[in-house]
Amino acid sequence: SMRICSSLLLVAVCALCAFLSLALPPPRPSNSPSSRVTYKAAVHQLSSVGSFEHTPKQNLDDTLSLFEAAAVNASLHGVEVMVFPEALLWNYGLQNRTTMLQYAAEVPPLAFNSSLCSSPLARTASDTLRRLSCLAERARAIVAANVVQYVECTASDTYLGVECPNDGFYLFNSEVVFENDGVLAALYRKRHLFSTSDILQQPKETEVVSFWSKAIRVQFGIFVCFDIEFEEPAVELWQKGVRDFLFSSSWENGPPLTDALNYQQGFSRLFLSNLIASNVGTTGYSSGSGIYHAGSVLNSVFDPTSFDGHTTLIADVPLLHSDIISARVGEEEEKGERGKEGEEVEEGEETGKNKGGSHIESGRESAGVTSSGQLPCTFSGVFAGITGACLPLLDHRHVAVAHKRVQCDVQVNIKQEGSTTPFLKEGKGVLYAFAFDGVLSFPGTPQGLPLSLCGVVMCTQNQEGGGGEGEGVVCLPNFDVSSDVTGIDITAKLPSSALVFPMVMLKGGQMLKEAADIIFTPPAGGRLPLHTGSTTREWGLSSSVPSPVVSALLYGIDQV
């Protein structure tokens, strides 16, 4: 894999000129099913180049020029599929619907099956779609980009379950995908809006959209940003056999609980899939993109301290065949069975074995399970609505914490033999076992987020007291942590209907790169949400942590 970082704004004009006259790349190796083992993918992490002082046309021109310049760099390396971030083509239209209308585009029917760049239809297509089509055609790459779709309607119309707005038109957050010949191959309307429902329409009917790329012979599924938190449409795509996903986002990070990379890797690990994930590069707290293969990181970028808003990542993505997925599921089931004999731990019992069987060293003395003294813990930023239950991992290395339906058992390993209290370095915070079960609400967001969380989290400000008003734990946003913890083992009882992502976030918002670095044990009945039967199921996560850990979570979203 490789990373291409450049000041694209400084070279956009020259790069665009080069792009328009770019010779087609040399013929690529045979892509027959028997010979192809990978495809080359790119994600563009870009920041906004417009201004509220500019006209919508000028903002669109500047942003599309930025896209074209990024595509030049990627095409020179033989990229076959590229993904751009969400919202960059329309974020300056969020003032009102009248303004947004000037950023929107009518999308022609997919059945037209001709390039919007070089066919007669190019004369009537919007400039945005025409330029995206030309970008794909000239770069000889599949291109996924996020636009606002305009659909005219009358008072009697209902579209995707939504009645026609009073002003006579729908505006949908939409992902368009062009094949490498410029043909519009797919259109998906974002099912779960975040913070934009005052301007855009949220479909009440879920579109399950995938397309077969004739160029690289892969079936790609599509979803956008907040959709990643819900089983619609990802679960149905997965059940239909889709294992490669294109994902545009405009994501705000929420340390110390999660960041964009954790969601991306967690999705790829849960669904044993390839995820090509592009995020905006607005700030250190609104960035983070990556390319993932069944939970392993092929390439990623995130650095909250040394920020580059314009970055392109490239990786060779291995094809995911059914035998690979079956083998991975079998390994998980075997590890889960092998660890069952050590699952029950009584108060005061010494243990050194975790369910995964390797990360909590055997023979290491452990304190008994401690569950008394829970403290309320609160967060700020994107998770400001959370008040969960915490227990400090200072005097105890094995604790149990509970919040409503969530039951959470946590064991940790430490670096030095004989070290007891405290085993976390001073000045950077305290590690807590953490549980939360509740619903978060966000402005401009029709659906709440029902979270069921279990794990450990580093809190950089804590105020422990006797439970009086205002006392408890305050967990402030921070990626800079320090601790002597080297192994974590988590067992969680979570709602059976939850979609559960395994997440481990290290210092600086980094990830464990290899899928094998985390032992993830789904419950009996499989990894997907169940809507019948028992009310809770047991999940497991075990990991060695070579770098100070910010958080390690079984991150459940209840699909009620």
Q: Tell me how crowded residue 451 is: count the other CB atoms within 10 A of its CB.
A: 22
Rounded mean pLDDT, 122-142: 93
Residue listed under structure tokens 């590690």: 431
Among 275-284, 300-309, 460-469, the minimum mean pLDDT is found in 460-469
- pLDDT at position 511: 94
User: What does the alpha-carbon distance between residue 246 and residue 144 come to, in Å, rounded to a whole number?
Assistant: 7
Judged against a pLDDT cut of 70, whether residue 338 lies above it is answered with no
Judged against a pLDDT cut of 80, whether residue 504 lies above it is answered with yes
Rounded mean pLDDT, 104-123: 87
Which pairing describes strands 472-475 and 461-463: parallel, antiparallel, or unpaired?
Answer: antiparallel
Rounded mean pLDDT, 36-64: 96
- pLDDT at position 413: 87
Average pLDDT, whole number, for the chain? 85
Residue listed under structure tokens 């960035």: 287
Judged against a pLDDT cut of 70, whether residue 125 lies above it is answered with yes
Give the strands of the sheet with 430-440, arranged side by side: 461-463, 472-475, 375-379, 387-392, 430-440, 449-459, 549-558, 498-506
Judged against a pLDDT cut of 90, whether residue 430 lies above it is answered with no
User: What does the alpha-carbon distance between residue 395 and residue 418 come to, in Å, rounded to a whole number?
Assistant: 13
> What is the per-residue pLDDT across 463-496, written as a single tens digit (0 to 9) for each?
554 433 446 888 988 888 877 788 999 999 999 9
- pLDDT at position 13: 39
Q: Which residue has the higher pLDDT, 88 or 425?
A: 88
- pLDDT at position 285: 85
- pLDDT at position 548: 87
- Hey, where are the domains in the chain? 38-320, 343-558
User: What does the alpha-carbon distance between residue 375 and residue 368 come to, in Å, rounded to a whole number?
Assistant: 19
**b/e map 83-120, b = 16+ CB within 10 Å:** bbbbbbbbbbbbeebeebbebbbebbeeeeebbbbeee
Judged against a pLDDT cut of 70, whether residue 2 lies above it is answered with no
- pLDDT at position 284: 81
Among 111-120, 122-131, 347-356, 498-507, the minimum mean pLDDT is found in 347-356
Residues sharing a CB contact under 8 Å with residue 120, sequence separation 6 or more, in sequence order: none
> What is the per-residue pLDDT across 346-378, written as a single tens digit (0 to 9) for each?
333 333 333 333 333 332 333 456 667 899 999
Residues sharing a CB contact under 8 Å with residue 73, sequence separation 6 or more, in sequence order: 4, 6, 15, 312
- pLDDT at position 347: 32
Q: Which residue has the higher pLDDT, 53 or 36?
A: 53
Judged against a pLDDT cut of 70, whether residue 457 lies above it is answered with yes
Q: Of all residues in the chain, what percent carry a pLDDT higher than 70?
A: 81
- pLDDT at position 191: 98
User: What does the alpha-carbon distance between residue 540 and residue 522 come to, in Å, rounded to a whole number?
Assistant: 7
Among 321-325, 524-528, 541-545, the minimum mean pLDDT is found in 321-325
User: What does the alpha-carbon distance between residue 284 and residue 263 come to, in Å, rounded to a whole number?
Assistant: 16
- pLDDT at position 333: 56
User: What does the alpha-carbon distance between residue 274 and residue 306 come to, in Å, rounded to a whole number?
Assistant: 28
Q: Given pLDDT bands bounded at 50, 70 and 90, which one contains residue 545? A: confident
> What is the per-residue pLDDT across 381-415, written as a single tens digit (0 to 9) for each?
899 989 999 998 876 789 999 999 999 999 998 77
Query: Is the CB of residue 530 less than 8 Å from the CB of residue 537?
Result: yes
Q: Which fold has domain 38-320?
A: Nitrilase/N-carbamoyl-D-aminoacid amidohydrolase (3.60.110)
Q: Specify the 3-state DSSP secondary structure of 157.
A: coil
Q: Specify the 3-state DSSP secondary structure of 273.
A: coil
Q: Encoding tokens for residue 383?
A: 């998770």
> What is the per-residue pLDDT across 10-32, written as a single tens digit (0 to 9) for each?
444 344 444 433 334 444 444 45
> What is the per-residue pLDDT across 169-201, written as a single tens digit (0 to 9) for each?
999 999 999 999 999 999 999 999 999 999 999
Tell me the one-letter amino acid at 9.
L
Q: Given pLDDT bands bounded at 50, 70 and 90, which one contains residue 423? A: very low
- pLDDT at position 461: 67
Q: Specify the 3-state DSSP secondary structure of 406.
A: strand
Query: Is the CB of residue 411 less than 8 Å from the CB of residue 489?
Result: yes
Q: Which helix (DSSP H) or strand (DSSP E) does residue 324 occupy?
A: helix 322-338
User: What does the alpha-carbon distance between residue 116 and residue 284 come to, in Å, rounded to a whole number?
Assistant: 36
Rounded mean pLDDT, 497-521: 95
> What is the per-residue pLDDT across 255-265, written as a single tens digit (0 to 9) for each?
999 999 999 99
User: What does the alpha-carbon distance between residue 511 and residue 159 come to, in Å, rounded to a whole number?
Assistant: 41
Rounded mean pLDDT, 89-118: 94
The dihedral through the CA atoms of 139, 140, 146, 147 has a sign that is: positive
